Each structure stands twice: as structure tokens, then as C-alpha cells.
Structure 1
Amino acid sequence: MLKRFSIQVVIRIVLLAITIFVLAWVYMQSQMFFNAVTLTIIFILQLVELFRYINSTNRELARFFLSVLHGDFVISIHEGEKGKSFRELESSMLRILDAYKQVKIEKEAQYQFLQLLINQLPIGIVSIEGNEIALMNASAEKLLEAQGTRNLALVEQRNPWITTMLGEHGSRLIELKRNYTTTSLAVQVSSSRILDKNYTLITLQDIHSEIEQKEIEAWHNLIRILTHEIMNSVTPIASLTETMQSMLTEKQGQLKPVEAVTTETLGDIRFSLNTIHKRSEGLLNFVEKYRALTRVPKPVLQPIMLMPFLKTITTLMEPELKQQHIHIATEVEEESLYITADSNLIEQVIINLITNSIYALRHTTDKMIILRAYRRERHVVMEVYDNGAGIREKEMSEIFIPFFSTRKEGSGIGLSLSKQIMSLHGGNIQVTSTPGEKTSFYLLFKGQ
């Protein structure tokens, strides 16, 4: 192609040279004035033609790149207009335009598919670029009551909590009351920077039905356990009361005279009253424990250095652990590791977990409890590990239910109280266990 272009340029230069030579000869002939003017005009036209020919490729390339820049695919390139020398270049340009056009079509198809997919999701998605809503799917429009609008100020006016969330980021549970209905939204806000633009992504999920279902299940479990405990106390009380009545009543239903009541009968009545008294005290104790679950004090938050904190608990529990021949150790990942919490409440949680470990280790040799503290992702974790009997799989889902206990003498409020305390701290408690080998309880706090 370059060779052909060079030949075309050489031909035009040769013609220019011939024209110059003839023009010079004509100028020397005074009688050929008009011929000189004509040749001068021809010379100028040849120069213009040469300049146009040389720059035609640049103009065509400029037009091509502008078409690509603006996505204009209707540009026409006439093959052969400048001769065969540019046919290969023009063909390449057309192929590039076709390929770019195909890429843009595929990109638009992917975008439309993504839009369709996002609109089908039951989770609301809102993308904010600067102070404008770049994307909002149908679920988000419904949850935010913002059908057909992309005005962020208007959406915030209808949902004031969005302004707070945009400033804080993170996750929250928002309860909305509209038109006599309640909606519970799990909201998560995050931000990212893409192509030098700041984007804020908000996801919203209506979990009201799930919360209601969990609440119903929790009430069923609680009522089942309450019924079991109350029946265990009330049934013998009713039975003993009926027995005492029969001891003091004739067959005809009349009250027995005093002289008919024997010493043995009085002894039986006294035994029955003592039993009723004990069962009544047990029932009162049970109710008091239930009340304790609803009276957890609000945490007084302060920084707690975990290394001395865990060593204090170890020192406190050591005498009892020595009696049980249990070795206890502490492992803290870094000396400066700390949490912000209520030391009294968290100490109560850990002591309760250690007490459970002591029970789990009663039939174990080489008994061991380890208190660990470390960072994991965005959390500070305190772990209470023991190599005891473990927890059976069918009990794992019930151990945090109030009054559920695997111990015959257990109250069943320790773990549920611990879970409530962790919830008040904005944290969580989790458990893993291998029956017959080990158990670990994890107290998860937000990273400091």
C-alpha cells in the first residue's frame, strides 16, 4: 500500500516538474503571455491536488476516529475513491467500525439484561453517584415509595432515615410504619470508587415476615418450656392438695371431726404441706429467673484491655478449677488488643461459659479450658474452648432458648442471658462443637 502511495506521489511530482520546466520556457518567450498565465494556473492546481491527495488519508482517519469517539456507525467510506493504494486501509477501517459496533451492541444487551435481572430481584438496590440516583430497581422503588423518580432529595424526604444511613454506612434494621402496616427493612450501605467516580450502594430487604416467623417459633419454644416447668410444679401441688382434702373429709363429703384425725394423718398432711411449700418456692424461683432475663441492665461501655481482663477471670475461677483438676490457660493475640464493653456483664458471660465447660469436662481426662482473644476480619473475638463432652447436633439449635438446659440441675437461662448481653453490646455469640471432643463459644465484638 505504501509503495502504491509513493508511486502516486512521484507521478504528481514529475508532472509538477514538467509543468515548471514548460512554464519557465514559456516565460522566456514574451509572445506567449497567455500560455504563461494558463500554465501558472495549471501549476497551482497541481500543487493543490498534490496537497489534497497527501492529506486525504489524514482527513479520512480523522473522520474515522471521530466516528468511533461519538459512536457514529453510519459513516461511509468509499473504496477506490483514492485509488487502489488505500483499499486495504479503508477495508480495515470498515472492519474496525463493524467490530466496535458489535461490541457496543453486546454491551447494551448486557446492560439491558443486567437491568432486567436487577428488577427481578426481591432485594431493593439503589446506586447513588454524588447527589444523584444512578440506578434503582423496582423492589427499591416499592420499598421506598419512590416509583418513577430519580430525585435523591425527594426520596430522602419520604425516607428521612436514608440521610442518616448515607452518613454512617454499615448495616441497620429499620422499622417503617405506613398505611397501618409495619415493614422491617434490613439495610446495608457501602461505598466504592469506580473510574474516578464515587458510588454509594444501598441494599434493602423486607424481612418482616421472616422476623414474625422467628418470633412465633421463639414464642412456641418459650411457651413449651414454660408449660413444662409450670406443670412440673403445679401437678404435684394439685395432687397433694386433693390428697389432703380426702384425709380431712368423710366419704359423704362432710368434714371429719378433730378426734377422727390421727397422728399419722397429721404427719401425712405436714409432709404434703412441706412438699407443696418446696414446689411453690421452686416455681417462684423459676419466675424470678425469668424476670432476670427481662431486667438486663444497659451496658456501661468503656475500653477493656483483654489480656489483664482474661487473667483476672482466670485468677477468680482458678480455685474451683483446681478442685476439678482442670487446667486453664489464656492466649491473647496481641497485648494491645481491647474491646469497648461493660466489663461486669462480659465477665458474667465468660464465667457462665466456663461454668458450662466445667460441667462438660466432668467425665474427661486431661481436662482443659482455654480463653483466647484475637482479631478475625472485622471482629475482635473472645473464645472459650474446652475439650469436654461437646454438644449434640440436635441440641445446637436450642441451647440459646430460655430455660432449655441439658443439665438436670441447670436453670436454662445462662446462655440465653449471655446472648442477650452480647446483643446489647451490638455483638453476637456463636458456638461450634464436636461431640465427644471439644466445644468453642465465640463472643464477637465489632473491630476497634
Structure 2
Amino acid sequence: MQFYKTFSFKVIIRLILLLVVMVAFAKIFGDKRLFFNHIILACVLIIQIFELLRFLNQTNKELAKFILSIKHQDFSASFNRSPATHSFQQLNHAFNEIILSFKDTKMEKEGQYHYLQTVVSHINVGILSLENDTSITLMNKTAEDLLQATGIKNWKILKEKHPEFVREIDQMHISGRKLISLEGENNRTLSVEVNTMQLLDKTYKLITFQDIKNEIEQTEIEAWHKLIRILTHEIMNSATPISSLTETMLGMLTSDGEQKKLEDIDEETIGDLRFSLNTIQKRSDGMLSFIDDYRKLTKVSNPRLEEVHIQELFQDIHLLMKKQMEDNHIALHISCEVSTINLDRHLMEQVLINLITNSKHALEGIENAEIHLTAQYKMGKACIEVTDNGSGIPKVELSQIFVPFYSTKKQGSGIGLSLSKQIMHLHGGYIKVASEEGRGTCISLYFKG
């Protein structure tokens, strides 16, 4: 760029001209004959000062214009037609580049925002974002349909429409998950999850939910069908031989449709009758035992939670099972890294004895048989594990072991693991099973953190 077009050159020229006028004004100052010259030079001097200030402030004006454009996101501003374009060419070029960069970034973010809005609106899960527990900043179409709340942007208005839903959400505070029922024309069961985040000094609560009523109903129907099949199977196993033996006994006591006389019944017939009655009694006892197991499964009492020292619990379990372990040549090891857990001691003893008994059956015929009873923290939760090196559970049976009355043992009742799962659920925890056929089984009991 030529020097005479630069900002510095133009400032120097203006200063020189200002100095010349000031020198001329100083020379004629005080001469009354040149009174009008004084006025002319004073006016020229004032004009030059204002021109110099205007020229120097041109940069500030351009900078202010640029900052205001950024502040108000007015990316249509241009700095190419400025009077000082040649002097401020590099500065104006930089301004235009920054404005263009901001414009491209804004367009990209708007595109991403609209894309995410489209994705969120097509998700088959209700999504609701709440700002500072007052205003609804986002509610996708699925959420609007489930709550029948199209266009609602205020949390209080939604509370008037669905007080139970809003009350349950407020009770979860920062985070949580629960099932909420919505009463109305179409009763719904919503699986709701709440998470809270802090962004730019604002608290946002993200609420996701979906209607699982159909899934619950389908699961209940499948569970009823499965239970009915099991009950029918067990009842038929007992009722069929009872009916058959009863018919056989009636045949022994009748002849040509008439009851036999006492003298016509020989010792062999009496022996057959006694055998049949004994069989009927055994099958009846079996049916009563089955009904008692069913009663146990359906009438588990609510746990009485208390702080239990796990080391003491393990030692008591070890003493209870010591004789059985020695008789079956099984080593029972205990290890405790957890001090205390809130649980029902009586119910948990029942669970652990049942799990150790299952492991004992899985260790039949195994050399160097071992059972490890351990307590430790896993994934931030207190966890009790019963591990054995037994025969393991085949994959085809692994998904069925918690089904009531399903048993892999010939003499098993099939309620042990089902009962254990129910007890853990009442404790607010859950049970997991990991098993590999031929290498052993590990059953983990996770307690509420």
C-alpha cells in the first residue's frame, strides 16, 4: 500500500497543517489591523481540530459499529463503504472476516438446533425440559400427546392439568425413576426418569417418560399364562394318579356294578388297596406341600430394615451350614469388606442359606469343592456374593431360573430363587446371576445405595 494513503500519513498532514495555522495565528496575534485575519485563522483552526478529531474517531465509530453488530447479532453490517476504507483497509477487512465467521457459526448452530428439534420431536419417548422449576423450555410431540398438553409452557398450568404427575416429579427432587399412573379417558402408566443439570447459572430438570401400560399388561398376561401352565402341570401330576388309583380301587370293591361282600375280598386285594391308599396319600401330601410353597411365595412379609454387621451375619451362616459343608466335603470361605448394610436379618439369612444350599447341590461330584461368601462394594453399592466352582447352569436354563416352581433339581421346589428375588426387591435391591457351564456360578445381591 502507498504511504500517502496510510492512516499515519493523513494524521501527520493534518498535524502539519494545524501547526502552520497556529504559527500564522501566533504571528499576527495582537495586530488590530489584521482583526478579520484573526477571525478567519481562528475559524480555520477550529475546523482543523474538529476534522482531526473526526478522523481519529473514525476508528472508534467503526469499532463501536462492529461491537454493536456482534451484540445484536446483526451480521448484515458491512465495513467496505467506510470513508476511511483505504486508511483502515486491514481493520475493515478483519471486521468483515469476523462478522462472516460469526454469521457462519450462527447459521451452523441454528441448523444443528433445528436438526436436534426434528430428532427430538420424532423420538418415541416423551421429553420435557424444565427451567428453574417454573418454565417449560422443551416439550416434544410425544410428551404433548402423552400428557395432552399441547402448547403449555408453564409448569403451574401443567400442574393444574395433571396434579398427580407434577407432584410425583417434584417429590423426586434432583433425580430418580418411578412409575406414575395418569387417570383420564385413556389410563396410562408412565415410566418416568428425572435428571438435573446446571447450565449458565440456571437449573434445568430433564424429564423423560414413556407409556408402558401395554408392555406391563403383556408381561402380566405372559406371567399369568406361565404360572397357570406350572400350576396346571403340578396339579395334573397329582390329580391324574389319584383319579386313576381311585377308579382302580372302586373296581376292586365292586363286581358287576355291585359292591363286593367282605368275604369276597382276599388278602391280595387288601394289599393292593393299601398300596393305592398310600400312593394317594403321598400325592396328596405332595400337592399340599406345593400349595404351601405357593403360599410362601405370595406372602413374603415386608422387611424390617436395621443396620446389620455383615461379619457377624456371615459367621452365623457359617456355623449354621458347617455340618452340611463338612458332610459334603465342601470348603465354605467367608470374606467381608463391608461393615454394615441396612437389611432384614431374618429374611437375608433365608436368602443366603437357600443360595448356599443351591451351590451345595451344584458341587455334587466336584473335587476341591468350594463356596465363597463375600461382601464388597461394587458400582457404588453394597454387594453380597455367593460363588461356587460347581457344574454351572446351562444357558438354556439361565433365563428360567427365577420363574416360580421352575427347578433344575429333581427334588427342588422351584421357589428358592424366586423367593430370593422377591426379598431383594422388597429391600430395594436386585439379584444378578453369572454362570458358565462346567466352571461355576456367582449370584450377586445388590443393595440400595
TM-score (norm 1): 0.95
Task: Decide which moves more: 374-383 or 57-66.
Answer: 374-383
* Secondary structure of residue in 2 paired with 1:289: helix
Where does the alignment leave 5 or more consecutive residues of structure 1 unmatched? none
2:432 counterpart letter in structure 1:
Q
1:186 aligned onto 2:188: no
Task: Tell me the equivalent position of 2:150.
Answer: 147
Q: Aligned Cα RMSD in Å?
A: 1.7
Q: What's the CA shift string for 1:223-278, capped at 9, x where partnerless?
A: 2221221111111111111111222222x433333332222112211211111111
Task: Tell me the equivalent position of 2:321.
Answer: 317
* Secondary structure of residue in 2 paired with 1:371: strand
1:136 aligned onto 2:143: no
1:125 aligned onto 2:127: yes
From the superposition, tell whether residues 22 and 83 of structure 1 become closer, same or farther in structure 2 (CA, over 3 Å).
Answer: farther
Q: What's the CA shift string for 1:378-417, capped at 9, x where partnerless?
A: 4211111111010000101110011000000000011111
Tell me how many residue pairs correspond in the alignment: 443
Q: What's the CA shift string for 1:129-187, capped at 9, x where partnerless?
A: 112212111222222232210110121231324334334331112223322x4322111
Q: Quick one: which of 205, 212, 219 aligns to 1:200?
A: 205
Task: Tell me the equivalent position of 2:56.
Answer: 54
1:292 aligned onto 2:296: yes
* Secondary structure of residue in 1 paired with 2:254: coil
* Secondary structure of residue in 2 paired with 1:178: coil
| Structure 1 residue 424: Cα displacement | 1.0
Question: Structure 1: how far apart are the matches of 2:36 and 2:397?
Answer: 116
Question: Structure 2: how far apart are the matches of 1:228 and 1:202?
Answer: 45
2:301 counterpart letter in structure 1:
P
Q: Quick one: which of 369, 377, 385 aligns to 2:371?
A: 369
Question: Structure 2: how far apart are the matches of 1:333 and 1:137?
Answer: 47
2:421 counterpart letter in structure 1:
K
| Structure 1 residue 29: Cα displacement | 4.2
* Secondary structure of residue in 1 paired with 2:259: coil
Task: Decide which moves more: 305-314 or 43-52.
Answer: 305-314
From the superposition, tell whether residues 161 and 307 of structure 1 become closer, same or farther in structure 2 (CA, over 3 Å).
Answer: farther
Task: Decide which moves more: 124-133 or 39-48.
Answer: 124-133
1:434 counterpart letter in structure 2:
E
1:258-273 to structure 2, matched below 5 A, reads 258-273=262-277
Task: Tell me the equivalent position of 1:221.
Answer: 226
Task: Tell me the equivalent position of 2:182.
Answer: 176
Q: Quick one: which of 151, 156, 159 aligns to 1:156?
A: 159
Question: Structure 1: how far apart are the matches of 2:306 and 2:2?
Answer: 80
2:169 counterpart letter in structure 1:
M
Q: Given that residues 372 and 384 in structure 1 are in contact (C-alpha distance below 8 angstroms), is that contact kept between their aligned partners in structure 2? A: yes
Q: Quick one: which of 440, 443, 446 aligns to 2:445?
A: 443
| Structure 1 residue 89: Cα displacement | 1.3
2:190 counterpart letter in structure 1:
L
Task: Decide which moves more: 433-442 or 2-11.
Answer: 2-11
Q: What's the CA shift string for 1:93-144, capped at 9, x where partnerless?
A: 1121111011111111111111111111111111111122121112222222
1:155 counterpart letter in structure 2:
L
* Secondary structure of residue in 2 paired with 1:299: coil
Task: Tell me the equivalent position of 1:353.
Answer: 355
From the superposition, tell whether residues 285 and 28 of structure 1 become closer, same or farther in structure 2 (CA, over 3 Å).
Answer: same
Q: What's the CA shift string for 1:278-305, capped at 9, x where partnerless?
A: 1111111111111111111111111122
Give runs of ≥4 in structure 1 deviating > 6 Å: none
Question: Structure 2: how far apart are the matches of 1:322 and 1:43?
Answer: 116
Question: Structure 2: how far apart are the matches of 1:68 and 1:2?
Answer: 32
Q: Given that residues 126 and 137 in structure 1 are in contact (C-alpha distance below 8 angstroms), is that contact kept between their aligned partners in structure 2? A: yes
Q: Given that residues 2 and 85 in structure 1 are in contact (C-alpha distance below 8 angstroms), is that contact kept between their aligned partners in structure 2? A: no
Q: What's the CA shift string for 1:358-395, capped at 9, x where partnerless?
A: 00011211111111111122421111111101000010
1:246 counterpart letter in structure 2:
G
Q: Given that residues 126 and 140 in structure 2 are in contact (C-alpha distance below 8 angstroms), is that contact kept between their aligned partners in structure 1? A: yes
1:32-71 to structure 2, matched below 5 A, reads 32-71=34-73
Question: Structure 2: how far apart are the matches of 1:69 and 1:376?
Answer: 51
Question: Structure 2: how far apart are the matches of 1:140 and 1:2?
Answer: 66
| Structure 1 residue 83: Cα displacement | 4.3
Q: Given that residues 378 and 446 in structure 1 are in contact (C-alpha distance below 8 angstroms), is that contact kept between their aligned partners in structure 2? A: no
2:213 counterpart letter in structure 1:
H
Question: Structure 2: how far apart are the matches of 1:2 and 1:235?
Answer: 114
Task: Tell me the equivalent position of 1:244.
Answer: 249
| Structure 1 residue 80: Cα displacement | 5.1
Q: Given that residues 172 and 187 in structure 1 are in contact (C-alpha distance below 8 angstroms), is that contact kept between their aligned partners in structure 2? A: yes
Q: Given that residues 79 and 87 in structure 1 are in contact (C-alpha distance below 8 angstroms), is that contact kept between their aligned partners in structure 2? A: no
